[in-house]
A and B are shown apart, each in its own frame.
Chain A
Amino acid sequence: MNGAVIENLSNRKLFGIFVVLLCVQILFFLIGAIYAPSPSTFMEFEMIKCHDSSKGITNEWFHRENCQLIDDLSQFTPSSFDMREIVFVAKMPHARDGIELEYSPWFQFLLGVLHVDVEYSEHFKYVEHAPLSLEVRMGYRTKESGKNDWQELSSTNVSRILECSIKDEDKKEGRSYDCDMLDLFEFGSSNYPFYLVNIRIPINQAACRYNPKSPNCQIGKISELRLIEIHQNGGFTLIWLWMKTLLTPIVSGCLYWYWRRIHQLARNPLLLEKAILALGLSLAILDFPIEWISLTLRVPFLLLVSDLRQGLFYTILFSFWLIFAGEHLIDDTTRNNIMSYRFNLSFIITASFALLIYDLVERGVQLYNPFYSVWASETGSNIAYFTIFVGAICTVCYFAFLFYKIVKVWTTIRRKRAAQLYQNSENRRLKVEGVIYRFKFLMLFTLLCSAFTILAYFMKQYGEAQLHSDDARDGFLTGSTSAFFTGTFGMCNIYVLLLLAMYAPSHKHYKGASQLIDEEDDEIVDDGTHTESNALTTFLKPNTD
């Protein structure tokens, strides 16, 4: 039986490693806080209203240049019944400082949110949960093409439910409702520099008379449509990609080293070792900077891929924690067998499966129709609520179970130590104490990482709140959103790398460098099952027999 690296490491070296890792961790935070801009940004568009004299028959694109501007909808007298002559127009992005801005592939994704401004009116009553149906055409233009040479990107009918509220005291002519925003579109890549959105709100008067619940019959008096476009900042993408690119070889190298260590063993690898290997592998997959190709090619599925990679990593990390705790339960004889964890693991599998379904439905369908939203339809939002509910319940159950396991491990260790440890030889006592100490140290490291994450999360929340105060100043904390992302990303990597390094089988055993271990191994070889995951259980096992 050989030990893991952690058991053969002196405290001084361990301390040294921790200090170095802490410095690296701080570096990750600082990169995010100082160099990276905030992860995402927005641009707001108040859509201008144009009059289409052809009443929507032609396939014409409407933009600022050919727009017969309608300044105020309430002053406009339409000549058609279906209102398709009113076109809401926005060209993205805006010009700023007199310069025509462009979207760049560095933005990774573009998503659009629609705000409908509804005015209170005695005559045009808004009814709650009013179905809204929009005719949306989205065009794009490349840098080479002419100024108003728009190509069609997507043309679709979008249905959403308009949820608005107003206070009773505000129910006066001209006051505005407070409406929930609507998800409009989501592009998994940003490959064109300019976009043009044309929206019509058609109405079928006959259908309205027949059934007031028909789309657009109860949406009230619309005064404005406001479009908010959100994208990832190019600067953040750059720093994020370089971080991934630099980390990938390190993680891969470490993974290879670990894999070789395991294969040099005379026995089959233990479950815990396999779990760590899987964790390392999922981290390598997460780190791989596949996003570079999005800068040249049009790959809208990357957003989905990055979701899947994150999902995979968290699934394996959670499974690993469970296995790690389980393998340290000394009294449990069913260890080193993945099947004995099937009940507990089923929570994680169910949770991640539920979220996978949600993600595939939402972002998967968006690959074909960027205007799709699960939340738009009744059944869709039921499915979405159901999957998220199942996911949340399973996660809670999982953590309750994990907590129970950890408490069990702690009590077992304490009991063993109090009962029998001090009857053994001095040599062994020291060793066991040391191993328990190191085991606890790693458990605490996990807790420390979680604490850091939570702290960083609150810092991020605080920083974001600062941004929305009266006078936004660029302070240290306002950059904390990026720091949160780079910091937690760095922490994930450090955590897994440390596990790979510390829990790799030690060389010192088969090179005979450590006399202490060899001696003890001889004494306890009688258990003969080779199911121990590390030396801690090895030492304590004989006491239980």
Chain B
Amino acid sequence: MNFLVFILVVFWAPPIRSVLDAAWWSSVAQLSTSLAGHSAPRPVCKQLQGLSPGQAQVCELFKDHMPAVSAGAHNAIQECQKQFNGHRWNCSTHYGSGHLGPIHKFATREAAFTYAILSAGVTHEIGRRCKQGQLTSCGCSDEQKPKNVKSDFSWGGCGDNVEYGYKFSRDFIDIREKEHDPKRNSGNGRSLMNRRNNEAGRKILKRQRRPKCKCHGVSGACNMKTCWMQLPSMDEVGKILRNKYEKAIRVQINDRGNLQLMMDETAGKERKTRALPTDLVFMDDSPDYCRYDRSAGTLGTEGRICQRGASGAAGCDSLCCGRGYNTYTQEVQQKCNCKFEWCCKVVCEMCKNVTQVDICK
């Protein structure tokens, strides 16, 4: 999704009173674009309809974090769209709805994936901005609240930046799931599920960090060694989450109000009695993503480009759900014969290509 288009959408789309509650990431994006641009009336966190009261409070306190949250969410949605490119559900939003990214009415696998990658994306971006020195309030150590940061730093150094991103993401994103919102009647189960999936996303990000070490003893010997953790790219996180999506575990809420694994069709074979903290969980069956259904929140696959003859999800047979497809001839201008110039410049010629596009009916 083009960011510019998105900005325009945010600015010009009339506010839609959706039956669904607006997603927080969409609201934050709205806030940070107006913080960055110097448009006169600065929206206040509390006026944003997508944020829960708790989130609005955090937003007010950490206004400088909001561009990072928005950028993180944006990266996450992009990665989500990359991962589900060519699938019936492709992580997209209805054009003109004023939202960024998909919104889920049901507690489906897709919702699980969206929540997980969003919280991972925010954690990632906050950690990155800490390293850039853009957020001066990043924490110093793993402890809850160091008494004196300055002397803590000279005594034992400062901890990892991801830790801060992790905590901020947990505080900001999960807080809405802990509040009781009268407007949301979907109940406790959905909140628990969201929290779990948020946590799974963050955990996967943390787990994918790889240590890099430098030896600096006598003559470079490794008796003295310092290691730091390297963040994975969103790419890697997306790939892993995609796998987790395939193996997502169905849960239900039990009498005590806890999530419980459902013993369903898989019970015969390897029965899973426990879900790992990094496993995605879901409760509802996915709706039919083939057709547009406002009440189910699905967009349908009409108008999507498919690949003729391909057997996978992107193939026309699968993507168009048997409705067939139309074939159009398209003239595309493409860059070609590009010449190398260092760093940021490529000189290309434009070539015209005539291709055929298949679009679902």
A binding-site residues for B, Cβ under 8 Å: 37-48, 64, 73-74, 76-78, 83, 86, 90-91, 93-99, 101-102, 104, 106-107, 111, 113, 115, 122-125, 174-176, 181, 201, 203, 205, 208, 216-217, 221-222, 226, 228, 230-231, 233-235, 307, 310-311, 355, 358-359, 362, 388, 457, 464, 467-468, 470, 472, 474
> Which one of B37-45, B133-141, B184-192, B264-272 is at the interface?
B133-141
Are A48 and B132 within 8 A (Cβ)?
yes
Kindly state whether residue B284 has any CB partner on chain A within 8 Å.
no
Kindly state whether residue B114 has any CB partner on chain A within 8 Å.
no
Knowing A37-B157, A93-B153, A94-B138, the reply to whether A46 touches B212 (Cβ < 8 A) is no
Are A113 and B133 within 8 A (Cβ)?
no
Are B155 and A233 within 8 A (Cβ)?
yes
Residues on A with beta carbons closer than 8 Å to the beta carbon of B341: 205
> Which one of B13-21, B228-236, B291-299 is at the interface?
B228-236
Residues on B with beta carbons closer than 8 Å to the beta carbon of A73: 343-344
Which residue of chain B is the closest to A38 with respect to CB atoms? B156
Residues of B320-345 contacting chain A, CB below 8 A: 338, 340-345
Which residue of chain B is the closest to A70 with respect to CB atoms? B344
Residues on B with beta carbons closer than 8 Å to the beta carbon of A115: 212, 230
B binding-site residues for A, Cβ under 8 Å: 128, 130-134, 136-140, 142, 146, 149-150, 153-158, 161, 203, 206-207, 209, 211-212, 214, 216, 218-220, 223-230, 233, 235, 338, 340-346
Are A78 and B345 within 8 A (Cβ)?
yes
Interface centre among B132, B158, B214, B230 (most CB of A within 10 A): B132
Which residue of chain B is the closest to A40 with respect to CB atoms? B226
Are B157 and A96 within 8 A (Cβ)?
no
**How many angstroms between the C-alpha atoms of A404 and B223 in the bound complex?**
28
Interface centre among A102, A124, A174 (most CB of B within 10 A): A124
> A235 contacts which of B133, B155, B211 (Cβ < 8 Å)?
B155
Residues on A with beta carbons closer than 8 Å to the beta carbon of B346: 123-124
Residues on B with beta carbons closer than 8 Å to the beta carbon of A99: 149-150
Distance between B127 CB and nearest chain A CB, rounded to angstroms: 10
Are A310 and B218 within 8 A (Cβ)?
yes
**How many angstroms between the C-alpha atoms of A13 and B228 in the bound complex?**
49
> B157 contacts which of A41, A201, A221 (Cβ < 8 Å)?
A41
Are B218 and A97 within 8 A (Cβ)?
no
**How many angstroms between the C-alpha atoms of A37 and B154 in the bound complex?**
10
Are A464 and B150 within 8 A (Cβ)?
no
Are A96 and B138 within 8 A (Cβ)?
yes
Q: Enumerate 24 A-B pairs (CB-CB under 8 Å) in ascending A order.
A: A37-B156, A47-B132, A48-B133, A73-B343, A90-B133, A91-B133, A96-B136, A96-B153, A99-B149, A101-B140, A106-B154, A115-B212, A123-B338, A123-B340, A124-B343, A124-B346, A175-B233, A221-B343, A231-B157, A233-B155, A233-B156, A307-B218, A359-B218, A362-B219
Knowing A37-B157, A359-B218, the reply to whether A42 touches B342 (Cβ < 8 A) is no
> A230 contacts which of B137, B226, B235 (Cβ < 8 Å)?
B226
Residues on A with beta carbons closer than 8 Å to the beta carbon of B206: 470
Knowing A181-B212, A359-B219, A468-B229, the reply to whether A46 touches B132 (Cβ < 8 A) is yes
Residues on B with beta carbons closer than 8 Å to the beta carbon of A233: 155-157
